[in-house]
Amino acid sequence: MHTMTDPEDNWLWIIGPGAIGRLLAASLMEARQRELCEHETSALPRVLLLGRQAMAGQAVVLDMTTPESPTFSVKLNYSTIDTLQDSPPRKPSAIWLTTKAHGVPGVWQQLAPHITPETPVTCWQNGLSAQPWLAERHANLLCASTTEGAWLPAETGANATPDADSTADEFQHLGVQHAGRGHTWLGAWQSDGDGDGDGEPDSQSHQAALVQCDWLRAAGFACEQTPDIQTRLWHKLAINAAINPLVARYRIRNGQLRDRPFAPMVRQAVEEISAVLDSEGIPAPRGGWQALVEQVIRATANNRASMLQDVLAGRPTEVEAILGPLRRTAARHGLALPLLDDLYCQLSTPQR
Ligand SMILES: NC(=O)c1ccc[n+]([C@@H]2O[C@H](COP(=O)([O-])OP(=O)(O)OC[C@H]3O[C@@H](n4cnc5c(N)ncnc54)[C@H](OP(=O)(O)O)[C@@H]3O)[C@@H](O)[C@H]2O)c1
């Protein structure tokens, strides 16, 4: 175990109490309580969950249903992000950002005055917009790319508000469904041209990545530290870009992409994406992009992608985080992206 700090003073702030934030918070706290019960000590951090919504009291109970179906509940500290201004809690030893990509600048504005440049901050967002944006503002940056799946049960959605008559000792319950187990890669962000790359084995970001992988493994996640998180993020982006904009635009489940008229569109999207990635020197997966995308569509046939759910709910989507980096890279290399550009324009205008 790569110990980072005195466990008594070891606080992890998870900012963004949505599906992924709750999954991570509940799993870590459950593992910490189990370790404390069995060994009376734990190197896992205490978790403070920070969100925008006020809750009843300074703690919440997370009710998590696992993919194998049993449900467990854990209590943990909760604050609204606004309270950082008035009474900042004890400094964190690490911060995980689990908002959507477009939420990161707003969070950063509130967070930056309260943390030191040494605090490791980990981005959990899909796409590749929040990470380079934050890398320009914070040196000790880590990124995670995960294929874990989680969603919020409707009855305890992200917008749950306290009951008018609830008291401070009645904790608000927030649900989360861990839909499917996956794999997580975590690594230090490496800025372009950074000779003393953050991925250097002795850099503070690299050390933080090792510690955080330990936390995640102890919490039951399959996790690997990687010296090249950017390639992992590009790979996840490529798959998301081939599937999510199409299913969101046509309001279909992933599996319908195998049928006409969508199958030829998937092939065109993959051709456009792989040309951009080739031009950028991002290695293709063994077996090629078409085969990998088809495999993911098969494995997620019944899913409604989060971009589709956002469109249906009238919420902002992550289309900029996913298609934006491809469009900018294509422009630099003089490549045309007729289908992806069209999807970007369609999804960037408010959907009805
Ligand atoms: N869910 C998955 O299975 C999954 C898997 C892999 C990667 N990801 C990635 O993980 C990221 C989060 O996804 P998600 O599914 O967890 O989204 P989500 O359920 O929408 O959660 C986002 C959370 O961030 C909160 N938030 C937004 N702005 C905030 C702010 N300024 N301060 C504090 N909290 C704020 C939102 O609160 P409000 O209720 O106030 O809006 C919401 O609770 C996305 O980039 C997604 O692509 C998700």
Q: What is the pLDDT of residue 85?
A: 81
pLDDT reported for residue 160: 45
Q: Is 103 in the pocket of ligand 1 (CB under 6 A)?
A: yes
Q: What are phi and psi of 333, to 5 degrees?
A: -100, 5
Sign of the C-alpha dihedral computed for residues 322, 326, 328 and 329 taken in this order: positive
Q: pLDDT at position 167, please?
A: 47
- Three-state SS string over 282-299 comes to CCCCCCCHHHHHHHHHHH
Atom number in ligand 1 closest to CA 107: 31
Query: Do residues 323 and 340 make contact, with C-beta atoms less than 8 angstroms apart?
Result: yes
The pLDDT assigned to 159 comes to 41
Q: pLDDT averaged over the chain?
A: 91
What pLDDT does residue 7 have? Answer: 60
Compute, in angstroms, the gap from residue 97 CA to the centroid of ligand 1.
Answer: 9
pLDDT value of residue 202? 61
What residues does each domain of the chain span?
A: 7-227, 231-348
- pLDDT at position 1, please? 57
In the CATH hierarchy, which fold is given to the domain comprising 231-348? N-(1-d-carboxylethyl)-l-norvaline Dehydrogenase; domain 2 (1.10.1040)
Nearest CA to ligand 1 atom 5: 149
Does the beta carbon of 106 sit less than 6 angstroms from any atom of ligand 1?
yes
- Does residue 81's CB lie within 6 angstroms of at least one atom of ligand 1? yes
Tell me the C-alpha distance between 9 and 45, whole Å.
Answer: 8
Look up the pTM and report it.
0.93
Measured distance CA(60)–CA(79) in Å, rounded: 9
Q: What is the pLDDT along the chain (352 residues), one digit of tens a residue?
A: 555 544 668 999 999 999 999 999 999 999 999 999 999 999 999 999 999 999 988 899 999 999 998 999 999 999 999 988 877 677 899 999 999 999 999 999 999 999 999 999 999 999 999 999 999 999 999 999 999 999 999 864 444 444 444 444 589 999 999 999 999 999 999 987 454 445 566 688 999 999 999 999 999 999 999 999 999 999 999 999 999 999 999 999 999 999 999 999 999 999 999 999 999 999 999 999 999 999 999 999 999 999 999 999 999 999 999 999 999 999 999 999 999 999 999 999 765 5
Evaluate: CB of 125 within 6 angstroms of ligand 1. yes
> Which CATH number describes the domain made up of 7-227?
3.40.50.720
Is the C-beta atom of 108 inside 6 A of ligand 1? no
Which whole-number Å values give the CA distances from 264 to 41, 171, 269, in the listed order? 56, 51, 9
Does residue 150 line the site of ligand 1, with CB under 6 A?
A: yes
- Alpha-carbon dihedral angle through residues 79, 307, 104, 57, given to the nearest 10 degrees: 0
DSSP letter string over 93-140?
SEEEE-S-GGGHHHHHHHHGGGS-TTS-EEE--SSSSHHHHHHTT-SS
Tell me the pairing of strands 149-151 and 172-180: antiparallel
Res 125: pLDDT: 98
